[in-house]
Amino acid sequence: MAKINANYDKLAAGYLFPEIARRTRAFLDANKGVSVMRLGIGNTTEPLTPSVIAGLHDAVDQMANVATYRGYADGGEGEPEMREALAKRYGKRGVTLDPSEVFVSDGGKPDSANIQSIFGLDNVVAVQDPAYPVYVDSNVIAGRTGLAQKGQYEGLVYMPCTEDNDFFPELPKKKVDLIYICSPNNPTGTVATKAQLETFVAYAREHKAVIIFDAAYAGYISDPDLPKSIYEIDGAKECAIELNSFSKDTGFTGVRLGWSVVPHELVVEGTAPGKVNALWNRRQNTFFNGASNIIQLGALSVFSEAGERECNDMIAYYMENARIIREALESIGLTVFGGVHAPYLWLKTPNGLSSWEFFDKLLSETHVVGTPGAGFGPAGEGYFRLSSFGHRENIKTAVGSIKSNLKL
């Protein structure tokens, strides 16, 4: 008799965004003719830039010509030009990588869900709390946890990120093996400093733990002293895997392209250098046949001077939205974090409201949809995420409505 993977049944309340969609639908059904403004999901809204469009057109033309046509790449690791271009870009920040350490994928979400599969089920997993839900859910599905109790899965180590620690966690008190860190962080919008990352790299090297570092929003860091890659920290290549994406800085949320870095130097208990890289290579070749070659070849345009400038302009557009949201919220006395080197603002809910209570209040009074902090983990309770992805006029209308209609 066939049996399901019963770990799926442990997943607490379903995914956060379907619940937001359900409540929003219920509100719209009850309030005919009203439209809502969405500052909830981190979905990009601005069109691809001219260089990227030209690159993609060119890549399509390459597939139309017998001399330049390509089928499967040699493996699931990516087109050689893209692996090289990415490695070279790390070089600009003083990080030396070999292209064989870079794996191209169809996005950061699949990588952040799949990476745990190359590690044993007996690893103890630590996550920032709050965190991007995929880290937790993929480990639940794999069977590394028990049931959820009061919003926390048994067996997972939660590292609270609160106002008291500037939203970056203290080192775990008990020994852990896999540590997920996201910077700039989704959902808190805060960025880890070099000194903060150094403490985790030192811990990981001492305990032979592996840091899984999600840098999907690195393009949003404008302060040159803040690290855009964990490999800017000495020793990180021995203990860290990095995940990244073209979604948020190139507008590829729907186009799909990402990458992971697994350095040859990375070692885990009982293995020689190179083993983890080989395992990830094996995993990608067995379960994945590579990201679309049209997208990879088209995305090479991002590395040109014009491509880089245009993408930076796109980031600046979203960051101006973030500034508008932040200033509006502060002007009515709300406390806001993040939104300086990240497209997310992390708002403290007023008057002690729970994050779902604030969701309902914001929706009913201002018709704005945001994301309750509790959906990202227990320490997200009492907070609320607003996203700066949106057309400028919609952002302005939404903050105007918050300023005029939110009853504080």
Single out the residue of 186, 190, 301, 387 in contact with ligand PLP (rule: CB under 6 A). 186
Single out the residue of 76, 133, 251, 258 in contact with ligand PLP (rule: CB under 6 A). 258
Q: Is 138 in the site for ligand PLP (CB under 6 A)?
A: no
- Shortest CB 89 distance to ligand PLP, Å: 17
Tell me the two tokens of residue 175: 């020994």
| Cα angle 363, 368, 370; round to 5 | 90
- Report yes or no: 178 and 328 within 8 Å, Cβ to Cβ: no
Residue (244 or 366) nearer to ligand PLP, CB: 244
- Shortest CB 182 distance to ligand PLP, Å: 5
Q: Is 247 in the site for ligand PLP (CB under 6 A)?
A: yes
- Shortest CB 375 distance to ligand PLP, Å: 13
**What length does the chain have?**
408
Distances from the Cα of 121 to the Cα of 3, 177, 400, angstroms: 20, 11, 49
Q: Is 287 exposed, middle or buried (0-12, 13-18, 19+ CB in 10 A)?
A: exposed
Residue (76 or 258) nearer to ligand PLP, CB: 258
Tell me the two tokens of residue 394: 């919609």
Site string for ligand PLP, 227-246 (x = CB under 6 A): ------------------x-
Query: What part of residues 64-123 is at the interface with ligand PLP (CB under 6 A)?
Result: 107-109, 112
- Report yes or no: 140 and 161 within 8 Å, Cβ to Cβ: no
- Shortest CB 368 distance to ligand PLP, Å: 19
Q: Is 183 in the site for ligand PLP (CB under 6 A)?
A: no
Residue (257 or 267) nearer to ligand PLP, CB: 257
Q: Comparing C-alpha atoms, which of 132, 114, 145 is closest to residue 184?
A: 132
Q: Is 132 in the site for ligand PLP (CB under 6 A)?
A: yes
Q: Is 42 in the site for ligand PLP (CB under 6 A)?
A: yes
First to last CA, the chain: 57
- Report yes or no: 294 and 106 within 8 Å, Cβ to Cβ: no
**Site residue total, ligand PLP (CB under 6 A):** 14
Residue (40 or 107) nearer to ligand PLP, CB: 107
Distance (Å, whole) CA 342 – CA 215: 11
Which residues lie closer than 8 Å to 391 by C-beta, 6 or more apart?
A: 45, 46
- Shortest CB 341 distance to ligand PLP, Å: 14
- Report yes or no: 55 and 300 within 8 Å, Cβ to Cβ: yes
Residue (258 or 267) nearer to ligand PLP, CB: 258
Pairing state between β 258-261 and 102-105? antiparallel
Residue (182 or 211) nearer to ligand PLP, CB: 182
- Shortest CB 122 distance to ligand PLP, Å: 26
Residue (102 or 328) nearer to ligand PLP, CB: 102
Name the residue type at position 391.
H
- Report yes or no: 76 and 284 within 8 Å, Cβ to Cβ: yes
**CB nearest ligand PLP: which residue?**
107
Q: Is 182 in the site for ligand PLP (CB under 6 A)?
A: yes
Distance (Å, whole) CA 179 – CA 198: 14
Q: Comparing C-alpha atoms, which of 89, 83, 77 is closest to residue 232?
A: 89
Residue (114 or 123) nearer to ligand PLP, CB: 114
Return residues touching ligand PLP (CB under 6 A).
42, 107-109, 112, 132, 182, 186, 214, 216, 245, 247, 253, 258
